[in-house]
Amino acid sequence: MSWVTVYIRGRKGFQKEVLPKLEESWLAGSHEANNDLLMFWIEDTLRLRSLKIAIGCKLIFKYRLHFFTDLDFHLKAEKRKSTEFSMVETEMVTKMVQWESANSDQRVACGNTMQ
């Protein structure tokens, strides 16, 4: 039998409600009160879905929990969270600004006053 590491990330305060549901039947790794990340080990024969069922959908949605089996995915998600727009989103905003400046005369002519 081997173990798989599962990382759980969520909104502030999720640990108080999630830990009691998992500590009895899962092997707890580490957690800190000021950190938004929990680490658990589950048997490789179990599915991540069983961990989610133990937590319950209400808590998953309440705290917007995210589950990772690879710490790199967690770190990439943190990096995405800290940036405002992706490259595609930045291109879309640029196109929108160009379109608005090109069509500003038409909006005024139609009587629309957008501010």
Q: pLDDT tens, position by position, for the chain (115 residues)? A: 788 888 888 888 888 888 888 776 665 555 555 567 788 888 878 888 888 888 889 999 999 998 888 777 666 666 665 556 677 877 888 888 888 777 766 555 555 555 4
* Number of domains composing the chain: 1
> Does residue 31 lie in a domain region?
yes
> Does residue 8 lie in a domain region?
yes
pTM value is 0.58
CATH value at residue 62: 3.30.70
Angle at 41 between CA 70 and CA 59, to 5 degrees: 85
Beta bridge partners of 77: none
> Does residue 19 lie in a domain region?
yes
> Does residue 13 lie in a domain region?
yes
> Does residue 50 lie in a domain region?
yes
Provide the domain limits for residue 22: 3-69
> Does residue 79 lie in a domain region?
no
> Does residue 113 lie in a domain region?
no
